[in-house]
């Protein structure tokens, strides 16, 4: 469960980091923050739908509720830690909770909930 959650996190975080650069540099100036995050969310959710069952199969995880929920929570915990560390490193401050005060931040929060739930949603895939 822990290893599968870590692999799932790494796959999605890697893609999210790359898409985040594209969003920040290309989409946000053109669409605004909220629409840019929403546009980034489409390929992210598709990747989650593929990566969650892939990571679970890689570690021969049971499709039962608790292992899949645990996998999603491990991945979410790693995501929160990584995003907090990146905020501190790149911006010199931790803004994890503050970002949810904007529309873009709320869209991002919804994507994080989907990220945590995807191993459970796609447990029969």
Give me the tens of pLDDT residue by residue for the chain, a chain 125 residues long: 899 999 999 999 999 999 999 999 999 999 999 999 999 999 999 999 999 999 999 999 999 999 999 999 999 999 999 988 888 887 777 666 777 889 999 999 999 999 999 999 998 87
* Residue 96: per-residue pLDDT: 66
What Cα–Cα distance (Å) separates residue 95 from each residue in 63, 69, 98?
Answer: 35, 26, 5
Helix (H) or strand (E) holding 58: helix 33-58
Rounded to 5 degrees, what are φ and ψ at 123? -70, -15
The pTM score is 0.91
* Residue 42: per-residue pLDDT: 97
């Amino acid at each position: 469960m822990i290893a599968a959650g870590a692999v799932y996190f790494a796959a999605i975080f890697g893609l999210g980091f790359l898409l985040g650069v594209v969003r920040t540099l290309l989409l946000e100036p053109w669409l605004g923050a909220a629409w840019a995050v929403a546009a980034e969310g489409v390929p992210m959710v598709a990747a989650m739908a593929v990566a969650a069952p892939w990571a679970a199969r890689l570690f021969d995880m049971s499709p039962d509720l608790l292992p899949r929920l645990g996998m999603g929570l491990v991945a979410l915990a790693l995501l929160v830690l990584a995003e907090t560390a990146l905020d501190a490193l790149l911006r010199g401050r931790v803004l994890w909770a503050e970002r949810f005060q904007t529309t873009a931040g709320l869209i991002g929060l919804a994507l994080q909930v989907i990220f945590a739930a995807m191993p459970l949603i796609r447990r029969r895939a």
